[in-house]
A and B are shown apart, each in its own frame.
Chain A
Amino acid sequence: MTPIWRNRKFFPILGQVIAAFIVAIIVMILWHNLIYNLHRLGLQLGFDFLQFQASFDIGETPIPYKSSDSYSRALLVGLVNSLRVIVFGIILATIIGITVGVGRLSDNWLVRQLALVYVEILRNTPLLLQLFFWYFAVFLTLPKTENQISLLGFININNRGVTLPFGIELSSELSTLILGLTLYTGAFIAEIVRAGILSVPKGQWEAARALGFKPNLMLRLVIFPQALRLIIPPLTSQYLNLAKNSSLAIAIGYPDIYFVASTTFNQTGRSVEVILLIMVTYLTISLIISSGMNLLNRSVQLKER
């Protein structure tokens, strides 16, 4: 009978057990400290406050909400507001990113330079600063409702927001946030798209030309499907960044989940619980985006036959 520590697998497994233990102990210490200190202040952890009346108004309510509803309802309103921004932001940022990314490789000198200037300016200034710029220097300086700008007769723009046909109204704050996030993230996506296209071997371009593909067909049918393999993984990170950056909403007065959670925390004083809620919310959103992108990633990978 050989002793157990002579087994080749013994020490690696022991190492992992000890590592897992140390992590568990650190978590326990932190948790214990938290509970102890809360107890010292006479506070208890609990989520019962979510059923209390919120008694504050929210500026933009895509789902019915009144101030006599509960905190959980208010948080749901904030979540819907956040998701609106994230979904539109991801779609628009992708469109802008692909357009500018292709523009960076255009044969036309002017288009190339414009795309380069756009990417470099947007990529190298802080997002919060850009949001303030769009809000204060662009949207709030627009004319008042009385003499609003009319585009094509059915899009009206004033310092309250943008009115589209079919009764769609976007407030200045929502417009600013979507515009800011889209342009900022679009600049990063443009670089990712450019790198992806450049990664396709020269021979593929030549072969497509030899087969008589027109430029736009060549991009769509030959180059892009191969470039996607490289584009999608970093693109996922950009989508995640956009989702997390949407929490800057409160700086420009858009009532997203983070804002509603802040007010909830302020009125109930339940800092730990509210922070946990926000963390879980953003984590969930991020995991959904990741898993969706991973599915997409699998579909474009090389099929080894």
Chain B
Amino acid sequence: MLKLKRGLSLLATLPLVFSLSACAGQIGGSGGSLLDTIKSRGKLICGVSGQLPGFSYVKSNGEYAGLDVDVCRAIAAAIFNDPNKVDFRNLNSKERFTALQTGEVDILSRNTTWSMSRDTSIGIKFTAVVFYDGQGIMVKKNSGIQKLEDLKGKSICIGTGTTNEQNLTDQMRQRGVNYKPLVFEDANTVFATYEQGRCEGVTADRSQLVSRRTTLSKPDDHVVLETVLSKEPLTPAVVNGDSKWFDMVRWTIFALINAEELGVNSQNVGQLANSNNPEVKRLLGTEGNLGKGMGLTNDFVVHIIKNVGNYGEIYERNLGKNSELKLERGPNKLWNQGGILYAPPFR
């Protein structure tokens, strides 16, 4: 009996040993920051959608492109001075947060809305808004539908895993309009079903509707209604409890916006390092020690702008004039040009 007991007590200590070793292998726990992990790994792992022209999609030459993609490239440029040291992982809207929580991706840059419940209850932190969006509804031009009330008794196609379901419900409840939601897992199915005429309307963020309209067989037959149902500030997110990495992502985005405000772009960034404007000097690291304080080089913003351009360049390339979407900048203009884009200063 004695022998058996000893064996049991040995076995009973096993979980303790295992759990200790399990703790030792944790990422981003106490101690090192994700930033150090990324540096030693030699590349950034970035979670994107991969299916949304303008934000993140794969071009015909196999390269990723879009606003969300360029945010990750900017971060890679800041750390490695090389915008291509990024691995992109396609995530659908349902799995995106889990992938971020478990450390499968370093950053979630996937047209994701910053909302209170997401920020406070699922263990992630939102960094800085990269695109001010709002939910809209697309209908067929000849349907005669002009406002939400016209959708009474009609079906509306939606994708699951987003804030869209809840927003639509809120707006319709407020107006007392009864409608039928038709919810699908896959965004492609949402728009295919709408195009087949099963739903009178389809709802998503307005930028997404404009982006998706280009993929329909007759884009001109469809119109995005004027009504904006919600505020959708699209914001890259990182995991909770790693302030060093959080700061790094947040100030990379602020650098893109400030660069545009100060007139620094990919063409002139080389000459402007010696400008006589102290703000520009601090931004580009020829004065002060802002980069060192974050664990980077002082000229990290030079690397960013040289490789991916400032916010304005990124916008026009992916969503604006130089893209297929031709999306007006609207609220995404700088604060001193009639928009609401406002980044804290580099001081």
Residues of A at under 8 Å CB distance from B? Answer: 4, 14, 18, 21, 25, 28-29, 32-33, 36-37, 40-43, 55-59, 67-68, 136, 140-141, 144, 159-160, 172-173, 250-253, 255, 259, 262-263, 265-269, 271
Contacts and interface: CB of A to CB of B under 8 A. Distances in A.
B19 A33 contact: yes
Contact of A250 (B15, B93, B160): B160
Given A14-B4, A252-B184, A253-B184, A269 B117 contact: yes
A282 to B, nearest CB: 17
B180 interface: yes
Contacts of B214: none
A267 B117 contact: yes
B197 A140 contact: yes
Interface in B62-103: 93-94, 97-98, 101-102
A271 B241 contact: no
17 contacts: A29-B18, A32-B22, A40-B26, A41-B240, A56-B166, A56-B181, A59-B155, A59-B183, A136-B192, A159-B197, A250-B184, A263-B161, A266-B93, A266-B161, A269-B117, A269-B118, A269-B121
Given A21-B11, A25-B18, A37-B26, A253 B122 contact: no
Interface centre among B8, B162, B198 (most CB of A within 10 A): B198
Contacts of B123: 41-43
A263 B23 CA distance: 32
Given A67-B169, A269-B122, A251 B97 contact: no
Contacts of A59: 155, 180-183
Nearest to A132: B189
Contacts of B8: 21
Interface residues of B, number: 52
B240 A251 contact: no
Contacts of A67: 169, 173
Contacts of A136: 192-193, 196
Contact of A160 (B26, B184, B198): B198
- Tell me whether chain A's interface is mostly helix, strand or loop, or mixed: helix
A33 B19 CA distance: 7
Contacts of B117: 267-269
A259 B160 contact: yes
B228 interface: no
A29 B19 contact: yes
Nearest to A67: B169
Contact of B181 (A33, A42, A58, A141): A58
Contacts of A37: 26, 102
A25 B183 contact: no
B15 A32 contact: yes
Nearest to A262: B160
Interface string B118-139: 1001110000000000000000
A262 B96 CA distance: 13
B14 interface: yes
A262 B161 contact: yes
Interface string B167-193: 011101100000111111110010011
Contact of B240 (A42, A160, A253): A42
B45 interface: no
Given A259-B183, A267-B117, 15 more contacts: A18-B11, A25-B15, A29-B15, A29-B18, A29-B22, A43-B121, A56-B181, A68-B173, A136-B192, A250-B184, A253-B157, A262-B160, A263-B161, A263-B183, A267-B165
